A and B are shown apart, each in its own frame.
Chain A
Amino acid sequence: MTDQSKRAVFIPFLAALVFFLSHEAGCYEIPVGEDWLYFSGSESLSFRNAQMKRKELGGDEFIKYKYREIKNVLDLNFSYSFLTAGLTFQTNWYVPRMNEVWEKGLIADEQMMKGERRFSLEKKYVRASFDDGDLLAGDFYANFGRGIILNVVKDEAIDRDDTIEGVRFDIRTDRFNAVVLGGRIELPVSRDLLYYGLRSFERKDVVGCMADCTLFDGFVVGSGFLHYDRENARRSSAFTAEWTGIFDLIDLYGEVGHLRYGGEDGQAIYASMNLFLEDWDFLAEFIKYQDVEEFPLNNPPTADREDEFLSDEEKRDICGGRFKANYAVPGQGTILYVDSGYFKTPYIEEFYSQVYKDTPKALYHIYGGVEQHGLFDRIDATAWAGFRDGFERKFRTESEISWRFTGEQSVSAGYKREEREKTPDPEIHEDRENDYSVGYAYSPWFSGTLTWQRQNPTERDRANGDRDNLYSVDLLFTPMSDFDFSIMFGGLRGGRVCSNGICAVRPAFRGIEIKANYRF
């Protein structure tokens, strides 16, 4: 394909952007027959010129490479009578070719390896809605209960956006909900997507059904069944019970799951209790998982504040719980909280014996903090600190304050510190990091943040180009309510991002990223 035709890929997007920018923001309404067709969407165009550093697959060396990427995402939504439809087009243009990096031993995105450019219809669906339910064909997210057997979701923090491609039929009434679904899902072979760049998929069949019923006001019971991956005969089932508003004080929830893969069985129990008093509220959660396989089809509750320790094993084998207490100071906009957890798992000993001198018998965390909203009608502030003895022993603290000095203008400052215990392997842990940030915002037009990250790289990391200080600037302009434009440049530390029970290691970034988003 010639350079000219490659550039042509973006012409429709640019034309759409220019066209919609020239119009006042809003959704479109078109008469079709006796009804109206509603048309809306969003257009996002970004450019990234960056130096990345990733670990070589199967080795200890880091590979540094520069790349430029233009990415375009166009979402279109249509609604007509009882029908709604959505399309998401995505185009990536990589310069230079990512397979140059591949030749050096890095497994990159499969599509990147094949060429410079990728154009795909990432998501599409059509939904027919009725009074008490709907029928959908295309890509959809799905979950049952708290996610022990099914939780297919979008999570940008860890670059995860799984959907099932197929058909689902939902019934929703005041007392009865049910869904029957069937389709295919792509299962990532590796979960270290960002660290290694590995992204190879297998497509597996999924069929399932779930239903819940309100037996009396506040009391709901449900059950679900899922069959996927025919080759390995994976089946799972779960039962749920929820009782809310007991004496207007207590909410209870329980879920039991059974998962079978091949000849193996996994069991899962999750239970939670909320207790609400005048200005106090308490949350207690309990988990007991035995050989529970997770990701990507399910995503069981972790009961952990940071969700960091459950993702490194193929099977979860853990028992423990969490207790959280909040106190809202009456009439002050102040919230005080404490969050603690304690878990036992067999593989923690195996892991710790390799990296620490003294092997802990359990994992625990304890955090405490305060949030202050609307002090003197101008100040918002948060501060918390905590310690955790998990896969990394660490102390963390974070604070942020913002002061609105006029009706529209505000300044903010933030500080984060993390201290980790040094381990014998210098490549696994650094020992401390400090982040400082200052920001200015002028509502609704502009906001900007300057970030300074101080770190303490090992000699080996220094030799690999890591710096003690990293600086970045992030600017966001909003000239119209439905249009924003952002520029981020400088350096950002790579590191572990944990979200919703799944962690990924983001590569360090040095370069510039420009984004334009428009909703119409």
Chain B
Amino acid sequence: MKCNTLKRRRACIAILALVLIVAAGVCFAAKKDGGFVDFKLRDLKGKTFHLSEHASEKVIFINFFATYCKPCKKEIPRLVELDREFRDKGLMIIGISVDPAKDLSLLKSFTRSHKITYKTLADTNSRVIRKYNPRCDLPYSILLGKNGKIIARFSGYRPGDEKKYRRKIMDALK
């Protein structure tokens, strides 16, 4: 919907202001917590992965990435190390690729050459990333506690950020 006339523009602004005021009001009364958003996606072997089947058992670290994203390539080896360190202690790392559908064969090659040991899913039409991160920044990661709710979010990657991930993961596993 595009607000072309003056009246419609004013109406849009008024509606937006109202939405924000109501949102701000309820936020004061709201409990701050992470929302649980379930999803189903296929992995690179065509098998369906359903988040809610795992969310109550493990701490889950979801990493959105793409093969063309340079910081993602630097981050992935660090995530492989975290997977090796915490897999048996109750952590599940899931990589969700937002590469376009045409690059799925390239994605398979990428996961193999980068020795990705954790599960990789394909979100080719941005259905899942839109739920967590509408702006679709990459890389983008979220940490879900054992109750399935978001306890931390991480945008971008700089060398050394894995320390922050490790700290949050250890807190969540306690």
Contacts and interface: CB of A to CB of B under 8 A. Distances in A.
A396 interface: no
Contacts of B24: 15-16, 19
B161 A75 contact: no
A429 B133 CA distance: 39
Interface in B1-38: 1-4, 6, 9, 12-13, 16-17, 19-20, 23-24, 26-27, 29-38
A471 to B, nearest CB: 22
Contact of B27 (A28, A129, A337, A499): A28
Interface residues of B, number: 73
A500 B35 CA distance: 33
A12 B16 contact: yes
A354 interface: no
B36 to A, nearest CB: 8
B105 to A, nearest CB: 4
Contacts of B161: 443-444
A99 interface: no
B172 interface: no
B74 A373 contact: yes
Given A30-B30, A519-B153, A328 B113 contact: yes
Contacts of B26: 28, 30, 39
A447 B46 contact: no
Contacts of B40: 172
Contacts of B73: 371, 373, 382
B21 to A, nearest CB: 8
Interface of A: 1, 8-9, 11-12, 15-16, 19, 23-31, 38-42, 44, 73-77, 79, 84, 86-89, 111, 114, 118-121, 124, 129, 140-147, 151-156, 172-174, 177, 214, 218, 220, 242, 244-245, 251, 253, 272, 274, 276, 281-283, 285, 299-302, 324, 326-328, 333, 335, 337, 371, 373-374, 380, 382, 400, 402, 404, 407-410, 441-444, 447, 476, 478, 481-482, 484, 499-501, 517, 519
Interface of B: 1-4, 6, 9, 12-13, 16-17, 19-20, 23-24, 26-27, 29-38, 40, 42, 44-48, 68, 70, 73-74, 77, 100-106, 108-109, 112-115, 124-127, 130-131, 133-136, 150, 152-156, 158-161, 163-164
